[in-house]
Amino acid sequence: TDETCPSFTRLSFHSAVVGTGLSVRLMLYTQRDQTCAQVINSTALGSLNVTKKTTFIIHGFRPTGSPPVWMEELVQSLISVQEMNVVVVDWNRGATTVIYPHASSKTRKVALILKEFIDQMLAKGASLDNIYMIGVSLGAHISGFVGEMYDGKLGRITGLDPAGPLFNGRPPEDRLDPSDAQFVDVIHSDTDALGYKEALGHIDFYPNGGLDQPGCPKTIFG
C-alpha cells in the first residue's frame, strides 16, 4: 500500500520558488520487491545483494518539484532485463528550485553521499565492475564525480541528456568524461537548450541530431 511503500519525494512549485535544502534518499528495488521500494543508507544496506549488479538511477534538475514521470518505467525495465539491485537516488530536496545554479551547486555533495554508500557495499564484498550508474541531466555529472573518486574503475556510466549550463567548457574533472568509468556512453537529446553538446563518453549518441525529441514537451517545465 501507499502507507508501507516509500515513494519518491513529491514537492510543489512553491518549494521550487522558496528553494530546498539537500536531502538524499536511496530507494532499493529488487526482483523480489519490484514495485515496493526499501529505503536504505550506508549503515543499512537492506536486502541489497552485493554479489549482483547494482544500477543507480540519478535524476537531475527539478524546476517544479514533481517526481520524474519516467522513473518507475525505467526501474521496471531494468529489473525485467536482468536480476539486479536498482537504487533510485532521490535528491529532489536539493534539485527542486527554479534557480538552476542552486541545484548544480549540490551535485558534488550528492556524489560524496553515494561514495559513502558504495564504500560500504565494497566493504561487504561488492565489486566496482558490477556498479552501473545512469544519470540524467545533473545526475550525469554526479555519476562522473562518483566515478572519478574511484579512479574510473566503475563498470559503466550512462549519461542521459547531460546538463550543459555551468558544465559547458569545463575541464574533465568538473564534469562527466570518459575516464570516469570503464565504459561511458552518452545520449544527447536536448543540445539546443539545456543539454551538453560536445562528446562526453567513449561513445556518444545524438538521436534526431541531439535536438528536440518527438513527443517531448517544448518547455523546460515539461
Q: Hey, what CATH class is 13-210 in? A: alpha beta
Asked if 103 contacts 138 with a C-beta cutoff of 8 angstroms, the reply is yes
**Alpha helix positions (H), 82-221:** 92-95, 100-104, 107-123, 138-149
**pLDDT above 90: residue 104:** yes
Look at residue 217 in the predicted model and tell me its pLDDT: 75
Report field, pTM of the whole predicted structure over 0.85: yes
Reduce the DSSP state of residue 28 to 3 states and report it.
strand
Query: Which cell goes with 170?
Result: 569545463
The pLDDT of 30-58, averaged and rounded, is: 95
> Which amino acid is it at 71?
M
Asked if 168 contacts 142 with a C-beta cutoff of 8 angstroms, the reply is no
The pLDDT of 34-43, averaged and rounded, is: 93
63-78 confidence digits (pLDDT tens): 999 999 999 999 999 9
For residue 77, CA distances in Å to 2, 30, 84, 182 come to 21, 12, 11, 23
Query: Which cell goes with 96?
Result: 527542486
Look at residue 26 in the predicted model and tell me its pLDDT: 98
Q: What percent of the chain has pLDDT over 70?
A: 97
**Alpha helix positions (H), 22-172:** 71-81, 92-95, 100-104, 107-123, 138-149
Look at residue 1 in the predicted model and tell me its pLDDT: 43
Look at residue 61 in the predicted model and tell me its pLDDT: 95
Strands 23-29 vs 38-40: parallel, antiparallel or unpaired: antiparallel
Look at residue 220 in the predicted model and tell me its pLDDT: 62
The pLDDT of 170-196, averaged and rounded, is: 95
List Cβ neighbours of 43 (8 Å cut-off, separation of 6 or more). 120
Reduce the DSSP state of residue 179 to 3 states and report it.
helix
β-strand partners of 133:
56, 157
List Cβ neighbours of 77 (8 Å cut-off, separation of 6 or more). none
The domain locations on the chain are 13-210
